[in-house]
Amino acid sequence: MELGEAVKKRRSIHEYEPKLVEEDVLKNIFRTAAWAPTHRMKEPWNVHLYQEKGKERYAEAVLDSYERQGFFQGYDEEKSRQLKKGIGDFLLQIPHHALIYMPKDEDERKFEEDYAAVCAYVQNVQLLAWEAGVGVLWTTSPYLHDPEFAKGVGLDPSFYKLVSVLQIGYPKRIPKAKQRTDIGDKMKVIRT
């Protein structure tokens, strides 16, 4: 696939076929993505890939976080049980969840460099996945900022920043493209 085509045609995927992506395909995507730019060669990206039974631990940590954040408050017990089940089932039917995280640098400038490198890594993952016929949704939900969620998935929140969770699977439906603003409206060429 030509690069420009992958960049333009890639879409965020919300619905997946109920089957796993082959492990060698996924490993190749995550391995090749590591050619992202990385200042000081820190390669700050790390991945927890949840799939099969492993998704249960992740879904439980998400639900616990929603609970702590009061998401289920104001509902009676039955309604709140239904809401939890709905969210749990939704998460479990997604074939893979990749939690992307990085070590926190105390120096703000270096932290920003690392965060930028991890975002470049994530976009590489998205494009490589697209080329392989695999769909991804880049998500940044509130639980990524919940220290107890980090602990729940075995990560010390004082050491690690949770950057995103990528939902991954073969696309069941590819949404229509949302138009982009012409760059002429956002870019000035300064010649003198």
Nearer to ligand FMN, 8 or 79 (CB): 8
Q: Could you tell me the smallest distance in angstroms from the CB atom of residue 82 to ligand FMN?
A: 22
- Of the residues 138, 145, 157, 170, which one makes contact with ligand FMN according to CB under 6 A: 138
From the list 6, 9, 12, 170, which residue makes contact with ligand FMN (rule: CB under 6 A)? Answer: 12
CB 82 within 8 A of CB 103: no
Structure tokens at 153: 């998935």
25 CB contacts (<8 Å, ≥6 apart)? 132, 134
Q: How far is the CB of 125 from ligand FMN (least distance, A)?
A: 12
Structure tokens at 62: 């998400």
- Closest listed residue to residue 140, CA positions, set 164, 110, 171: 164
Closest CB 153 distance from ligand FMN, rounded Å: 17
Contacting residues toward ligand FMN, per CB under 6 A: 11-12, 137-141, 178
